[in-house]
Amino acid sequence: MIVPIGLITAGATSFAIPALKELDRSTMTEVLHVQAKRTTWDNYTQYFPAVMVYGLNAAGIKGKHDFKYRTFIYASSQLIATAIVTPSKNWIGEMRPDGSNYKSFPSGHAATAFSTAHFMFREYHDRNLLWSLSGYPFAVFTGVYRVINNKHWVTDVVAGAGVGILSTELAYLAYPVASSLFRKKNKPSNAVLMPYYQSKAIGLSYMTQF
């Protein structure tokens, strides 16, 4: 938890420390001066690590969890990230560098990208370290191009990365609880439903053991 909370804190302190906000502006000035080529790939690379996890499993390179639990964890991480990012954008109301709206902080793209990259890390770090780390370059690419595309300040991306990693960590913490609920749901029933006929009456008898 130290890394994601540290990243979120680093991004958030830019509102309290003028020097960090000035660093945001000077970095954006440099980016615009260099005139790096913009791209829309950042809209897609944020999902690449998750696609890779399911692709590797389909190819027989198994991760830590099966399809059901893996999907529960991934969906949970995305719900948690959305629950943090969306209210934060509306409450903080920071203007984007391009002036398009007041929903710059934190970066939702960075949050999604780093949550999926960390999802891949958690699924494969016990089995194949190289595979587990291969999602992070896509996350970094996404974050960098949110800045190059003039959609986010650097501190937005840093905080978004922290939110993404934190969301996946929280999803993995929630997994044991969900796992136990699934096991209970799949537990064989001790109940028996039987028809009966007695004293010219027909009915059903229900017996259960608990």
> What is the number of other CB atoms lying within 10 angstroms of the CB of residue 10?
15
Q: Which of 109, 120, 114 is nearest to 50 (CA)?
A: 120
**In terms of residue numbers, what domain contains 177?**
2-207
Q: What is the pLDDT of residue 24?
A: 93
Query: What's the pLDDT score for residue 208?
Result: 47
Contact 166, 122 (CB under 8 A): no
Q: How many CB atoms lie within 10 A of CB 208?
A: 9
pLDDT tens string, the chain, 210 residues long: the values are 899 999 999 999 999 999 989 999 999 999 988 888 899 999 999 999 999 999 999 999 998 888 888 999 999 999 999 999 999 999 999 999 999 999 999 999 999 999 999 999 999 999 889 999 999 999 999 999 999 999 999 999 999 999 999 999 999 998 777 666 656 555 554 544 344 444 444 444 445 444
Q: Supply the pLDDT for residue 40.
A: 93
Q: Given this model, what pLDDT does residue 193 score?
A: 38
Note the pLDDT of residue 36: 85
Q: pTM of the full predicted structure?
A: 0.83
User: Domains in the chain: how many in total?
Assistant: 1
3-class SS string, 13-60: HHHCCHHHHHHHHHHHHHHHHHCCCCCCCHHHHCCHHHHHHHHHHHCC
